[in-house]
Amino acid sequence: MSGRTEGGDIASTPPPLLSVTHLTRDYPGRRVSLFRHGPPFRAVDNVTFSMQPGQSVALVGRSGCGKSTLARMILALDRPTSGDIRFRGESLAGKSEAELRPARRDMQVVFQDPYGSFDPRHRVERLVAEPLHLLDAKPDRAERRDRVATALREVGLAPDDMDKYPHEFSGGQRQRISIARALITRPKLIVADEPVSALDVSIRARILDLFAELNDRLGIAYLFITHDLTVARAITDDVMVMAEGRIVESGATGAVLDDPQSDAARELVAAAPDLNRAIRRRLQEQG
């Protein structure tokens, strides 16, 4: 993402990793009679942007502005009403589940709730290894355990943790397990949907540090879906501000957050808490 724009166009020089063009998503309107619905609701309205390999981008906005709907379409979990999504130069439109496997392998997701995204009956080994079914060559049991052990080490956990159940871990550790699961296929892009909002503020900072370290070391691109501007400032190179389904402002994170031009961005900046101040206050309370 280079250069600041109004309306969401993000210029790029090399071929983009992800390209979203004039994306729209409409939902049926509320039922007004047995046979008739009201006008459709437009959740995402003519969104266009692109991301480069290794780039870290925040998509920020108030709850209900269309962020998660946009994320679901990028992940091919929902179909756009119109527009196009290209990942590594290839359109995702009209593809079957089998045809989407390469994109799903190279584009993973980390959800908000680290516990709700796990089946509590399964051990960590099985949970982290779930995306391996997307590989062309399925690993045998020994290779699978090696891959899980490597992924756990990369997020600061121990290989022996693969034999435990999710309830044996803290919230921050469970989110590390979620990140390990996302890493195991060596994706090019991770979509992180409010990945730290369910965590204690001091743990939140450590998870953000982990995301930054993995970006530096592995070159993974991130699309962070968040309403928290402190998260955007801490972890991303660029930011897009979304309001009522549209990208209303975009550019370098510091430039947008220090000098917001749109009403939506100014409102978000005015409402943003100071994460560092909250961490210092919590540490003082504990000590």
Looking at the domain assignment, is residue 33 inside a domain?
no
Residues in a beta bridge with 21: 84
Mean pLDDT across 100-106: 93
Looking at the domain assignment, is residue 1 inside a domain?
no
Residue 229 and residue 267 in contact, taking contact as beta carbons nearer than 8 Å:
no
pLDDT of residue 12: 47
Q: How far, in whole angstroms, is CA 219 from its chain's centroid?
A: 15
> Which residues have C-beta within 8 Å of that of residue 41, sequence separation ≥ 6?
26, 27, 28, 29
Q: pLDDT digit string (tens) for 154-204?
A: 999 999 999 999 999 988 899 999 999 999 999 999 999 988 887 887 788
> Which residues have C-beta within 8 Å of that of residue 103, sequence separation ≥ 6?
76, 87, 88, 90, 92, 95
Residue 199 and residue 117 in contact, taking contact as beta carbons nearer than 8 Å:
no
Which strands sit side by side in the sheet containing 18-27, from one edge to the other? 41-51, 18-27, 82-87, 90-91
Mean pLDDT across 124-150: 94
pLDDT of residue 278: 52
Note down the domain range covering 69.
18-28+41-286
pLDDT of residue 158: 96
Residue 165 and residue 176 in contact, taking contact as beta carbons nearer than 8 Å:
no
Residue 120 and residue 101 in contact, taking contact as beta carbons nearer than 8 Å:
no
Distance CA 250, CA 41 (A): 24
Looking at the domain assignment, is residue 36 inside a domain?
no
Number of Cβ within a 10 Å radius of residue 22: 12
Q: Which two tokens stand for residue 20?
A: 């979203």
Looking at the domain assignment, is residue 264 inside a domain?
yes
Give 279's pLDDT tier (boundaries 50, 70, 90).
Answer: very low
Looking at the domain assignment, is residue 11 inside a domain?
no
> Which residues have C-beta within 8 Å of that of residue 270, sequence separation ≥ 6?
none
Residue 87 φ/ψ, nearest 5 degrees: -120, 120
pLDDT of residue 2: 45
Q: Which two tokens stand for residue 185?
A: 């296929």
Looking at the domain assignment, is residue 220 inside a domain?
yes
Mean pLDDT across 213-225: 92
Q: Residue 8 pLDDT > 70, yes or no?
A: no
Distance CA 161, CA 140 (A): 20
How many domains does the structure of the chain reveal? 1
Q: Which two tokens stand for residue 91?
A: 């359109």
Looking at the domain assignment, is residue 4 inside a domain?
no
Q: pLDDT digit string (tens) for 21-72?
A: 999 999 987 765 666 777 889 999 999 999 999 999 999 999 899 999 999 9
Mean pLDDT across 236-257: 95
Q: Residue 282 pLDDT > 80, yes or no?
A: no
Looking at the domain assignment, is residue 49 inside a domain?
yes
Give this prediction's pTM. 0.84
pLDDT of residue 151: 96
What's the CATH number where 64 sits?
3.40.50.300
Pairing of strands 238-243, 246-252: antiparallel
| Residue with token string 């955007």 | 232
